[in-house]
Amino acid sequence: MATVRTSRSARWRRWGAAAGASAVLLLASGCSQQDVQEALSFNHPDPATEQAPVIAHLWYGAWVAATFVGVLTAGLILYAAFRYRRKSPDAPAPKQLRYNIPLELMYTVVPLVMILGMFYFTARDQHDLTRVSATPDNTVSVVGFRWSWAFNYTEDGVYDVGTAEVEDIPTLYLPVNESVVFELESPDVIHSFWIPAFLMKMDVFPDRLNKFEVTPNKVGEYAGRCAELCGVDHARMLFRVKVVERAEYDRHMAELREKGQVGEITTDRISRDGERYWEIDRYPEGEL
């Protein structure tokens, strides 16, 4: 009888291994190299700043830790379910434990160690990522308002501003391989300044100045948006980011001067002259 049971168990293991291998091959055959790369990177964009790899490594580390815990927990659950299952309806139930001091200590110590470890790495990286130098190469004052963005290029004394119309979203120009400090303000509600390719975002508060610094190191055009649900036209708060060579950046600054966009768009100015920038009469009274 034992020989028959062993033979049957081995046969089921072979069938299971074959089915698993077939499933992996089937999934892999339907995936392109780009799909595989996106899956392995958890679908985040290629880092476009010097600071972004730090965030990516922290992200990967969190996933590795979560995967380890998930696999270990699932393995222990399955082991207990199969190892101590009732072999027949008449078999007695496994021995029950009301408490087990070593087990209870493990349940307390292991999660505590894991949480403290993740807190350490998060606090360490956050300290570096939110540090702002006293003399950055460039400073951009960002004003997020309902429902667009204004970018003030502090060193050049010019600005760019968008409206709530999708075809009129503003474009933020940044010189490649030069540090830039973003100073974030809002005249109305909480927004969130997010450039996915930079792997960094920060909330934009009324009556509070937030700052962070990055150094874009890849020429290209990237998407930007508000990552905080801020109201009815939240989805319209889009902008573009162009990381360009210094010569093209200087040409764009000159174009803004020629358009008369000299000075600064402040939160007070938007609050005072707001309908010039964002108010659109699309919603009849009582429709919202």
Domain's final residue, options 73, 104, 129: 129
Distances (CA, A) of 138 to 17, 30, 173: 58, 46, 11
Per mean pLDDT, which range of 43-57, 156-170, 181-195 is the poorest? 156-170
User: Same domain for 181 and 153?
Assistant: yes
pLDDT of residue 286: 36
* Strand partners of residue 181: 139, 213
Q: How far apart are CA 246 and CA 177, in angstroms?
A: 9
User: Same domain for 103 and 143?
Assistant: no
User: Same domain for 144 and 63?
Assistant: no
Contacts of 287 (CB under 8 A, 6+ apart): none
In this predicted structure, the answer to whether residue 38 has a pLDDT above a threshold of 70 is no
Average the pLDDT over 231-258 and give the result.
Answer: 94
* pLDDT, averaged across the chain: 82
Q: How far apart are CA 130 and CA 198, in angstroms?
A: 14
Average the pLDDT over 253-260 and give the result.
Answer: 94
Domain's final residue, options 88, 103, 129: 129
**For the whole prediction, is pTM greater than 0.85?**
no
Kindly indicate the confidence band of residue 13, based on its pLDDT and cuts at 50, 70 and 90. Answer: low
pLDDT of residue 97: 74
Kindly indicate the confidence band of residue 16, based on its pLDDT and cuts at 50, 70 and 90. Answer: low
For residue 268, which amino acid is it?
Answer: D
Kindly indicate the confidence band of residue 224, based on its pLDDT and cuts at 50, 70 and 90. Answer: very high
pLDDT of residue 121: 92
pLDDT of residue 283: 35
User: Same domain for 215 and 269?
Assistant: yes
Percent of the chain with pLDDT over 70: 78
User: Same domain for 177 and 270?
Assistant: yes
Per mean pLDDT, which range of 36-40, 95-99, 124-128 is the poorest? 36-40
What CATH number is attached to the domain comprising 37? 1.10.287.90
Per mean pLDDT, which range of 9-23, 91-105, 137-151, 243-257 is the poorest? 9-23
User: How many independent structural domains does the chain possess?
Assistant: 2
> When comparing pLDDT for 281 and 112, which is higher?
112
DSSP E strand boundaries for 117-270: 138-145, 148-153, 158-161, 171-175, 180-185, 191-195, 200-204, 210-214, 220-226, 238-244
| 3-class secondary-structure state, position 234 | helix
What CATH number is attached to the domain comprising 255? 2.60.40.420
pLDDT of residue 204: 95
In this predicted structure, the answer to whether residue 40 has a pLDDT above a threshold of 70 is no
Domain's final residue, options 129, 148, 171: 129
Locus of tokens 């964002």: 278
Domain annotation covers residue 284: no
* Strand partners of residue 159: 152
How confident is the model over 54-75, as pLDDT tens digits? Answer: 998 988 888 888 899 899 999 9
Kindly indicate the confidence band of residue 281, based on its pLDDT and cuts at 50, 70 and 90. Answer: very low
Per mean pLDDT, which range of 5-9, 128-132, 155-159, 192-196 is the poorest? 5-9
